[in-house]
Amino acid sequence: MSVLVVGSIAIDTIRTPTDVKENLLGGSASHAAICASFFTKTQLVGVVGDDFPKKYINLFLSRKIDLAGLKREHGNTFHWDGKYEKDPNKRSTLVTELGVFENFKPDLPQQFRASPFVLLANISPALQLYVLDQIRTPRFVVADTMDLWIKTARPELLKLLRRIDAIVINDSEAKELVNEDNLIHAARLINKLGPKFVIIKKGEHGSILYSKNDIFILPAYPLLKVVDPTGAGDSFLGALVGWLASKKDVSLKNLKTAMVYGTIVASFCCEGFGLDKTSKLNKKMIDHRLTEFKRFTRF
Amino acid sequence: MSVLVVGSIAIDTIRTPTDVKENLLGGSASHAAICASFFTKTQLVGVVGDDFPKKYINLFLSRKIDLAGLKREHGNTFHWDGKYEKDPNKRSTLVTELGVFENFKPDLPQQFRASPFVLLANISPALQLYVLDQIRTPRFVVADTMDLWIKTARPELLKLLRRIDAIVINDSEAKELVNEDNLIHAARLINKLGPKFVIIKKGEHGSILYSKNDIFILPAYPLLKVVDPTGAGDSFLGALVGWLASKKDVSLKNLKTAMVYGTIVASFCCEGFGLDKTSKLNKKMIDHRLTEFKRFTRF
Integer Cα distance of A13 and A24 in angstroms: 6
pLDDT at A248: 75
Q: How far is B161 from chain A, CA to nearest CA, in Å?
A: 22
Side-by-side strand order, sheet with A207-211: A66-72, A42-48, A3-6, A117-120, A140-144, A166-170, A197-201, A207-211, A214-218
Question: Could you tell me the strand order of the sheet in which B10-15 lies?
Answer: B20-26, B10-15, B78-84, B91-97
Q: Nearest to residue B259, comparing CAs of B243, B270, B277?
A: B243
Mode of pairing for the β-strands spanning A207-211 and A214-218: antiparallel
Report the distance separating Cα B295 and Cα A206, nearest Å.
Answer: 17
Residue of A nearest to B225 (CA): A182
**What is the rounded distance in angstroms from the CA atom of residue A253 to the CA atom of residue A251?**
5
- Would you list which residues of chain B are within 8 Å, Cβ to Cβ, of chain A? 86-88, 181-185, 188, 202, 204-206, 208, 214-220, 222-226, 256-257, 259-260, 295-297, 299
Average pLDDT, chain A: 97
Q: How far apart are CA B83 and CA B229, in angstroms?
A: 11
Integer Cα distance of B130 and A73 in angstroms? 73
- This prediction has a pTM of 0.95
Q: Write out pLDDT tens, residues B141-160.
A: 999 999 999 999 999 999 99
What's the confidence (pLDDT) of residue B248?
75
Measured CA to CA, the distance from residue B176 to residue B290 in angstroms comes to: 32
Quick one: CA dihedral B112, B113, B119, B124, positive or negative? positive
Q: Are B229 and B270 in contact (CB under 8 A)?
A: yes
Q: Do B216 and A257 touch (CB under 8 A)?
A: no
Residue A299 has pLDDT above 90, yes or no: yes
- pLDDT of A37 above 90: yes
Mean pLDDT along residues B38-52: 98
| Separation of CA B266 from chain center | 10
- Rounded Cα distance between B261 and A148, Å, is 40
Render pLDDT for A173-191 as a digit per residue (tens, 0 to 9). Answer: 999 999 999 999 999 999 9
In this prediction, residues B219-247 reach a mean pLDDT of 97
Answer yes or no: do B297 and A216 touch at CB < 8 A. Answer: yes
Q: How far apart are CA A242 and CA A5, in angstroms?
A: 10
How does residue B37 score in pLDDT terms, banded at 50, 70 and 90? very high
B299 with A216: Cβ contact below 8 A: yes
Q: Do A115 and A138 form a contact (C-beta atoms < 8 A)?
A: yes
DSSP A83: E
pLDDT (mean) for A3-11: 98
Q: What is the DSSP letter of A6?
A: E
Contact A217 B219 (CB under 8 A): yes
pLDDT band at B94 (very low <50, low <70, confident <90, very high): very high
Size of chain B, expressed as the number of residues it contains: 299
- What is the tens place of the pLDDT at every residue in B170-228? 999 999 999 999 999 999 999 999 999 999 999 999 999 999 999 999 999 999 999 99
- The gap between the terminal CA atoms of chain B, to the nearest Å, is 34
Residues B72 and B52: beta-carbon distance below 8 Å: yes
Alpha helices in B42-83 (DSSP H): 54-62
For range B287-295, the mean pLDDT: 97
- What is the full DSSP assignment across B254-272? HHHHHHHHHHHHHHHHHTS
pLDDT at B273: 98
For residue B6, give the 3-state DSSP assignment. Answer: strand
Helices B232-245 & B252-270 angle (0-180, nearest 10): 140
Q: How confident is the model at residue A201 (pLDDT cuts 50, 70, 90)?
A: very high
Q: Which residue among A181, A224, A299 places its CB closest to the CB of B256?
A: A299
Which residues from A are below 8 Å from B when comparing CB atoms?
A: 86-88, 181-185, 188, 202, 204-206, 208, 214-220, 222-226, 256-257, 259-260, 295-297, 299
Which of chain B's residues have a Cβ under 8 Å away from the Cβ of A259? Answer: 299
pLDDT of A111 > 90? The answer is yes
| Band of residue A280 on the pLDDT scale cut at 50, 70, 90 | very high
Average pLDDT over residues A89-105: 95
Measured in residues, chain A has a length of 299
Strand, helix or coil at A81?
strand
Is the pLDDT at A219 greater than 90, yes or no?
Answer: yes
Residue A235 has pLDDT above 80, yes or no: yes
Q: Across-strand partners of A26?
A: A10
